[in-house]
Structure 1
Amino acid sequence: MKPLTRSCLVLACISTAAVAQSGRVQRGFTFAQTNCSQCHAIGRVGESPIPEAPPFRTLHTRYPIESLAEAFAEGITTGHPSMPQFQLDPAQINDLLAYLDSVQD
C-alpha cells in the first residue's frame, strides 16, 4: 500500500471513530437532558437545581467515570435523596459515559 493511500485510510478510520464518539456524546447528552437535568447541572457550567445533586462536570472528583458503568447497569439506588432509580441498557451506558467524559473539568 502506498504511503499516501495508507495515510488516507488512517484518517478515514480516525474520522469514523470521531463521528461515532460524537454520536455517543450527543445521545448521552439527550439522555442526561431528559432524565437528569431537573436535578443536576449537566453542562460545563452552572449550578445544579438541587444543591445535593452534584454537577456532572465534577463527578470525576467523586468517582472514576468508567466505574459508573456497573452502577448504571445494576440501577443506581443511591445518590441525592430525591434521585429516581435508573437502570440503563449497555448502549445507554456507553452514551452516558461518553457524555460524562466530555464535560469533566
Structure 2
Amino acid sequence: MRRVSLLALLAFMTVACSSRHSVPAASAYTPPADRTAARGLEFAQAHCSGCHAVVPLSISVDPEAPPFESIVNAQGLTLDTLRTFLRDSHNFPDIMKFDVDPDQIDALAVYMLTLRETE
C-alpha cells in the first residue's frame, strides 16, 4: 500500500511540474533581429539593467524598478505613450534622475515592445 501511494505521489508530481506551455529560460533569450530593436536592447543593457530586468523572464536588480516586460504589458500602452513615458519617466525622485537620450528613445521603445506578451 505504501508503495502504491509513493508511486501515485510521484506520478502526480511529474504531471504537476510539467507544462504544455513551457517557458524558455532567460539565458535562452534570442535578441531581436530588427536593427532598431537590437540597438534598443544594447542601450537597455548598458544603461537600464542596473535597476530593471531588461530581458524576458528575469528579475530587476532593484525590486522597485519594474521589469520591462511589466511596463510594456500595461493595458493601453502604445508606442507613442511608451515614448512619452521614457522621455519623462525618471524625473522623480532625485535618486532616479536619469534622462534617456532623445536619439535612443525610439530604439528603446521599439525594443521594449518586442517583450509584449502575445495572446
TM-score class, shorter: 0.5 to 0.7
Matches of 2:91 and 2:83 in 1, distance apart? 14
Structure 1 vs Structure 2: percent identity of aligned residues? 28
Deviation at 1:62, TM superposition (A): 6.6
- Please list every run of 5 or more consecutive structure 1 residues that lacks an aligned counterpart in the other structure: 1-20
Q: CA RMSD in A?
A: 2.5
Equivalence map 1:41-52=2 (5 Å): 41-52=53-64
Greater share of helix residues, 1 or 2?
Answer: 1
Partner of 2:105: 93
Which of 76, 79, 82 matches 1:68? Answer: 82
Which of 40, 57, 65 matches 1:53? Answer: 65
Q: Secondary structure at the match of 1:34?
A: helix
- Number of residue pairs matched by the alignment: 83
- TM-score, scaled relative to structure 2: 0.59
- Please list every run of 5 or more consecutive structure 2 residues that lacks an aligned counterpart in the other structure: 1-32
Q: Which segments of structure 1 move beyond 6 Å, counting only runs of 4 or more?
A: none
